[in-house]
Amino acid sequence: MILVRVLGGARAFLLAARPQYQAVSTPKRHHFLPVCYLNGFSGDDGKVCLFDRESGDYRAQFPVACGYEKYLYSLVLPDGTKDAHLEAKFCAIESEFPKVRDCLESGNIPSGDELGALLAFVALQLFRVPATLRDIHELGSLALSKHLDSAMSDEDSADEFFAELFGPNSPEAAMPLDDKKALVKEMDCAYPRRNAALRMMFESMGQAYKLLSQKSVVTVFHAPQGRAFITSDRPVLIRKPSRNLLGLGGLLGPGSIATLPVSSQVAVSVSDGSRVAIRHSELSRDKVAQLNYGEARTSYRLLAGNSEQRLRTVVEKGKILGQPRLRSISPGKQPDEKNAS
């Protein structure tokens, strides 16, 4: 599990559960694998080949029809409105990615702005995927439950908690203890916790971007002729995380290496070095296979590539076993990707 700091503690987590955005209209499909990203792994027919670890099925689909959940990043406002503030931010980051991918595939050195866009996309894909979002949700819910038990244990603790949460002179702070407990119970429901998890996810992306920006070496790996990279619904691979630090400081701290397949022909690695360097390198066939096996083993449910045969080879040689899919925490029904068009 990725350990994410709970935004200063469980009190901040409950504060984060209070929606602070105005509703923004949005499409229902929120892609955790963006269409512009999957386009880089599509075949000549424009379709991407998928392997579903849950069902064991292989299928080919257009990128728009896969790698999404309905309303996955929507905050739910008190009136039930689904807010698309976060999805709009993610789309803004995604919009810069195709230009960066073209630059890397052509063997050019990205500009400062393009490099920043690349690192932002890596941070985005590290945290926006459903498996990581569920980890954050579970961690935050556990911290919140423990804190609420303590905060509402007696009148003095409840007074202090409500004064900090709503303000010392607020009507809520003057409520009797039983009314405060009823209000906390009302706030402590599925959607507020999910809203808080989404906000924590976004905060963690910002922290991850800063840590990635502190690394000095960006290596662009090119697949040799006849070989290709695959990707997954957990596309960012982290090697050599610190064993002495928790949270993002350990995950992306000194010595760690973050790798993302950018397309079927290019992967990018962000690491530490003695001096700043951006370099291109052709990866050996064995190294491409190792990276693909890494993607497959750490995937949550989906593998994606430009060839079904390539996916079959990775799955069979890598002995990728089935994996049950957890219940979605999105407020929309989980789509049947197999029948999506």
- The pLDDT score that the predictor gives to residue 91 is 92
- The pLDDT score that the predictor gives to residue 5 is 29
This prediction's pTM: 0.77
DSSP 24: -
> Length of the chain in residues, anyone?
341
Q: For each successive 10 residues of the chain (341 residues), what is the average pLDDT?
A: 30 41 64 96 96 92 94 80 86 94 96 93 93 78 67 84 77 86 68 76 88 92 96 92 62 88 97 88 95 93 95 90 49 37 29
- Which residue's entry shows tokens 């556990």? 142
- The pLDDT score that the predictor gives to residue 126 is 93
- The pLDDT score that the predictor gives to residue 328 is 42
- The pLDDT score that the predictor gives to residue 198 is 86
- The pLDDT score that the predictor gives to residue 157 is 86
Q: Are strands 58-61 and 48-52 parallel, antiparallel or unpaired?
A: antiparallel
Nearest to 239 by CA among 155, 288, 164, 295: 295
- The pLDDT score that the predictor gives to residue 212 is 92
Which residues are CB-contacts of 242 (< 8 A; sequence separation ≥ 6)?
Answer: 249, 250, 251, 253, 254, 255, 256
- The pLDDT score that the predictor gives to residue 273 is 85
| Beta bridge mates, 61 | 48
